[in-house]
């Protein structure tokens, strides 16, 4: 189903948002419900960033902002899940992560991952504190 069709029908989804690190600091709260129009992670992110304006903490704007590659798989054979780099335009910043029910979005269907009411979305952009 296309996002246009979803919006025409007025389908909304309510998810449990959890924020850590710099995202938590920017939002000034760490856990809350968020209702948005649509059913995909992309629609969630569009609505969430429109309301809270913290996209720069999660999304990479150029190649210098993003992680350079994957760690080597320590096992034999093919690793489980979908091991592909985030496609252009869907890259998270270096050290920032988006998780759906505890799984990295790129191991699911990226920003096109379908969401359901009650799903847990974690927005993480850790910060470092040094003495």
pLDDT digits (tens, 9 = 90+) for 3-19: 445 455 689 999 999 99
d(CA 26, CA 119): 22
Residue-wise pLDDT for 49-82, tens only, equals 999 998 888 887 766 565 555 556 667 776 666 5
Domain range annotation of the chain: 3-68+81-125
In the structure encoding, which two tokens stand for residue 2, read together? 């296309």
Say which CATH topology domain 3-68+81-125 has.
Ubiquitin-like (UB roll) (3.10.20)
Burial 16-51 (b: 16+ CB within 10 A, else e): ebbbebbbbeebeeeeeeeebbbbbbbbbbbbbeee
């Amino acid at each position: 189903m296309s996002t246009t069709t979803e919006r025409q029908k007025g389908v909304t989804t309510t998810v449990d948002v959890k924020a850590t690190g710099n995202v938590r600091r920017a939002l000034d709260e760490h856990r809350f419900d968020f209702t948005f129009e649509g059913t995909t992670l992309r629609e969630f992110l569009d609505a969430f960033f429109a309301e809270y304006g913290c996209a720069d903490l999660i999304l990479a704007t150029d190649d210098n902002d993003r992680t350079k590659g994957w760690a080597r798989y320590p096992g034999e054979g093919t690793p489980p899940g979908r091991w592909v780099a985030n496609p252009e335009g869907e890259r998270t910043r270096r050290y920032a992560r988006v998780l759906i029910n505890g799984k990295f979005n790129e191991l699911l269907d990226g920003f096109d991952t379908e969401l359901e009411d009650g799903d847990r979305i974690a927005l993480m952009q850790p910060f470092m504190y040094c003495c």
